[in-house]
Amino acid sequence: MGLMYDSNVGIGSAEQGWKPTIQINGITTNSSLISPYNQVQASNAYMAGSQVTFYAWYNYEKKIRMKVDGTAICADLGCGRSADTPLTTIVTSNTAYDIQPSSFQKWKVLAVVTGDDIGKNKSVFSNIKVDGVAVPSSAFPTPDEDGATVTRDANNNVTITVTGK
């Protein structure tokens, strides 16, 4: 679950932005966008370069849930009204999983790049919390840096910059 970059959004597919996405057990369609929080999809996306707030629940009424708050490039999913608009997206799994906290050993912050813009790809994760509790920087082990540079600071921020191989 997270955000996927799309370079063909907005009126005339002339803008770029981030769309919420969730994949559960390898299936992208095993989730539903919850109305009226379903307007950031199709031609709409969260503005590239803008800050979005991402929330994840692993056991929300026994289902997996994701919520994203941010500024979208349009007011609706068809981009009938092109105006920077604060919007919320909520996606919930269609299947109940009843995941228990004891089943987790690690959490990951991850940035995946599927293009060749080496040095231009950067993800900043800030104010990281699990179950509403801030995760101290000391809780993160030494990062795996496969073609990237990972930095952490004392303010609970992680920055991943793709450097290439």
For the stretch 30-45, pLDDT in tens is 788 999 999 999 999 9
DSSP string, 55-74: EEEEEETTEEEEEEEEEESS
> What are the tokens at 153?
């600071």
> What are the tokens at 97?
């999983």
Q: pLDDT of 41-96, one tens digit each?
A: 999 999 998 999 988 888 888 888 899 999 999 999 999 989 999 999 999 988 88
**Which of 52-66, 99-113, 130-144 reaches the highest mean pLDDT?**
52-66
> What gap in Å lies between CA 45 and CA 60, rounded to an integer?
25
Q: Please, what is the average pLDDT of the chain?
A: 84
Average pLDDT rounded to a whole number, residues 19-37: 82
> What gap in Å lies between CA 1 and CA 130, rounded to an integer?
15
Output the pTM of the full model.
Answer: 0.80
Average pLDDT rounded to a whole number, residues 145-163: 83
Query: What pLDDT, on the 0 to 100 scale, is given for residue 52?
Result: 92
Query: What pLDDT, on the 0 to 100 scale, is given for residue 115?
Result: 65
Short-list 67, 73, 58, 74, CA closest to 88: 67
Query: What pLDDT, on the 0 to 100 scale, is given for residue 117?
Result: 64
